[in-house]
Amino acid sequence: MTAAEQASANIGVVGLAVMGSNLARNLASREGNTVAIYNRSYSKTETLLTEHPEANFVPASTYEEFAASLSKPRTAIIMVQAGKGTDAVIDALTEAFEPGDIIVDGGNALFTDTIRREKAVRETGINFVGAGISGGEEGALLGPSIMPGGSAEAWETLGPILKSIAAIAEGEPCVTHVGTDGAGHFVKMIHNGIEYADMQLIAEAYDLIRQGTGATPAEIADIFAEWNKGELESYLIEITAEVLRQVDAKTDKPLVDIILDQAGSKGTGVWTVQTALNLGVPVSGIAEAVFARAVSSKPAQRAASAALPGPSSVPTVDDKAAFIEDVRQALYASKIIAYSQGFDAIVAGAEEYNWDIKKGEIAKIWRGGCIIRARFLNRITEAYAENPGLVALVTAPYFTDAMAGTQDSWRRVVGGAAAAGIPTPAFSSSLAYYDSLRAPRLPAALVQGQRDFFGAHTYKRVDMDGTFHTLWSGDRTEIEATDSH
């Protein structure tokens, strides 16, 4: 190999498991790209080369060879399992690369790890970019939604490459420079939190229709396929119809009845909720979705509780079509709440970590490629374009109208589910959150009174400034307190 041939690749991929090899193939399929590829065990690299001889790949068997095959500034995307493995690859690349080069972590890293890594790598003069990549295996191959953080300098080189491989929604590539250091992985984490809520809401809708009307999974698949033609149109609704239609080859039964009803998770939903708790943002729909998976995965508790008493009489569904339409409306309303809560978390994260995140841009890059892609994301973009300082997404005119149109159905569904003993944690908590937001007065006043009673935690008054404490164990007069707890 001559020196010129050696440095012929403009982008590299480290880690050639399914996501990594699909992303490498996507990159190689775009005009002008030559892709350096490296995997810890060379056999994976060989397999990729054999299976795709047409692709513009430059294989490397060591990090030194990998670095030598890249033109400068060298740009490499790491696609390995998030965690310790990522640190080891970053160390190796930092060793092999030079100041000005760019290391991109395309895994599902925890954003605080990305902040730490960016700081450490920056000290070597190398750029580090944490990029959230959504869309699963197919998205990686055909066009994902990409959420990169990192420096503006890195974005200059990286932006055009990422734009060339991202999904296209309404003529625009689904990628934007989200913000500095961990901003990209933060936004990807929130994306996954919304994904959890959306999936749980859809699952509750399915369960309600099945239990309420006795429809078969295949019939419910038709209902979801129909819903996918309207305002609920989204990737998750589309795949739900396919999952429900699937028949198990071994038993001829609906596959959904054969799959063990214990939902797993890799942790990004938990991170979203933990982060939101730290930021003080109520993401109750997302939290209920995470907890619903946790409840499902407690077989001993579920078995021991199976004989617990339920409602003495279960209401019947007389008008099945009307009930199904109610569920559709309830799903739409709850989904709006899930996105509203997710965007609240983005706003709070941006404030805490000093990121200039453009909410409308985030909604735009989620319109294509990613798991939560949905028709109504355009409405979110419009809402933030009209009012960038929107305090709660649900208060934008379009969504307020949607709430007016859906809420009677929503209330009937949540009330009916409670009466029938069908668990709807995400539907119910979304409605409770919505009613909390709109309540002119909340019983939080009583909570403050209780806190002041047992802990002298003080309270504020509605009619004057200052901080007050009541002498509960004395003559119960009120005194102005100097420090609040």
- Using the rule CB under 6 A, which residue among 83, 85, 100, 136 binds ligand 6PG? 136
Distance of CA 473 to the CA centre of its chain: 49
Span of 39-47, 261-269, 306-314, 326-334 interacting with ligand 6PG by CB under 6 A: 261-269
**CA distance linking residue 220 with residue 226, whole number of Å:** 10
* Options 118, 195, 288, 361, the catalytic residue: 195
Q: Are strands 127-134 and 478-480 parallel, antiparallel or unpaired?
A: unpaired
Rank residues 194 and 215 by Cβ distance to ligand 6PG and give the closer one: 194
Span of 26-34, 224-232, 262-270, 463-471 interacting with ligand 6PG by CB under 6 A: 262-270
- Stretch 164-193 residues interacting with ligand 6PG (CB under 6 A): 192
User: Is 195 designated active site?
Assistant: yes
- The CB-nearest residue to ligand 6PG is 134
Residue 113 CA: distances (Å) to CA of 54, 268, 359, 362: 37, 13, 23, 22
> Hey, what are 178's tokens?
């989200």
Tokens 């009209």, residue located = 386
Minimum separation from the CB atom of position 407 to ligand 6PG (A): 30
Contact pattern for ligand 6PG over residues 270 through 299, marking x by CB under 6 A = ------------------------------
* 3-state SS string for 331-354: HHHHHHHHHHHHHHHHHHHHHHHC
Rank residues 144 and 212 by Cβ distance to ligand 6PG and give the closer one: 144
Contacts of residue 160, defined as CB under 8 A and 6 or more positions apart, other chains included, come to none
CB 107 within 8 A of CB 84: no
Rank residues 271 and 427 by Cβ distance to ligand 6PG and give the closer one: 271
- Identify which of 212, 198, 467 has the alpha carbon closest to the alpha carbon of residue 323: 212
105 lines the binding site for ligand 6PG (CB under 6 A): no
- Using the rule CB under 6 A, which residue among 246, 265, 274, 395 binds ligand 6PG? 265
* Options 118, 188, 204, 231, the catalytic residue: 188
At how many degrees (to 10) do helices 42-51 and 18-29 cross? 40
- Identify which of 29, 15, 127 has the alpha carbon closest to the alpha carbon of residue 72: 127
Rank residues 139 and 150 by Cβ distance to ligand 6PG and give the closer one: 139
Catalytic residues: 188, 195
What residues line the site for ligand 6PG (CB under 6 A)?
A: 108, 134-136, 192, 195, 265-266, 268-269, 370-371
